[in-house]
């Protein structure tokens, strides 16, 4: 991993998650603007990417780091090293134990209330009660996130809802839907 690659990945992920129009999957990480921005960094600013390249071994892990920082609202260029590494560690651990995390959220949802709909669950997600992956699985069936993103009364949560919508590109809902379907058939 080179410092330039670390910058390109974190820059592209940041644009992907904060812009409704930009898609990292469409434009990739090797864009002129990323190279130009990197070239304009001061030596002090480049130090952060030298450090990242020494801490994270491959592009998949750098992607996990960048996405984890997005969900924790940690700025890669300006956040502390401890915050960045903690976001990475937590996100990577959740992704590696995703079936367990989703099953845990299913159980929590069952014990909370059978009548709680996706809209209320999204509010629970916003305060940290459910994983983003569980919300995306439920949204796969109900498709409420896009409507909620455009709802004027939810403008205060627009950036967090956008992150969920953009995260769909990195999360294979089809792989985990059987966990929801299994729960539906056993109830």
**C-beta atoms surrounding 41 within 10 Å:** 15
Query: Tens digit of pLDDT for each residue in 151-178?
Result: 888 888 899 999 999 999 999 999 998 8
Residue 56: its pLDDT value, please?
A: 94
**pLDDT category, 58, cuts 50, 70, 90?**
very high
Residue 183: its pLDDT value, please?
A: 54
Q: Is 73 helix (H, G, I), strand (E, B) or coil?
A: coil
Tokens of 9: 């990945």
Query: Tens digit of pLDDT for each residue in 8-25?
Result: 999 999 999 999 999 998
Report the sign of the C-alpha dihedral through residues 15, 19, 25, 27, in that order: negative
Diameter of the chain by CA atoms?
59
Query: Tens digit of pLDDT for each residue in 73-119?
Result: 999 999 999 999 999 999 999 999 999 999 999 888 888 765 566 77
Question: What CA–CA distance (Å, rounded) separates 39 from 25?
Answer: 23
Whether 133 and 121 have beta carbons less than 8 Å apart is answered as no
Residue 182: its pLDDT value, please?
A: 67
Tokens of 3: 């410092």
Residue 98's nearest CA partner among 161, 173, 187 is 173
Q: Which whole number is the average pLDDT over 46-75?
A: 95
**pLDDT category, 186, cuts 50, 70, 90?**
very low
Burial of 119 (0-12, 13-18, 19+ CB in 10 A): middle
Query: Tens digit of pLDDT for each residue in 116-143?
Result: 667 777 788 888 888 999 999 988 888 8
């Amino acid at each position: 991993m080179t410092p330039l690659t670390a910058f390109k990945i974190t820059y592209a992920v940041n644009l992907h998650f904060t812009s409704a129009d930009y898609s990292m999957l469409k434009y990739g990480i090797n864009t002129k603007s990323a190279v130009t921005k990197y070239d304009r960094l001061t030596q002090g600013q480049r130090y952060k990417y030298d450090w990242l390249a020494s801490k994270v071994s491959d592009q998949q892990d750098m992607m996990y780091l960048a996405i984890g920082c997005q969900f924790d609202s940690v700025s890669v260029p300006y956040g502390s090293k401890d915050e960045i590494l903690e976001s990475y560690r937590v996100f990577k651990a959740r992704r590696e134990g995703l079936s367990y995390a989703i099953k845990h959220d299913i159980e929590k949802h069952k014990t909370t209330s059978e009548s709680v709909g996706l809209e209320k669950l999204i509010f629970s997600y916003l305060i940290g009660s459910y994983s983003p992956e569980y919300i995306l699985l439920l949204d796969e069936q109900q498709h409420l996130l896009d409507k909620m993103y455009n709802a004027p009364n939810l403008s205060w949560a627009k950036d967090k809802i956008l992150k969920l919508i953009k995260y769909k590109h990195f999360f294979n809902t089809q792989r985990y839907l059987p966990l929801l379907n299994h729960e539906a058939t056993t109830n």
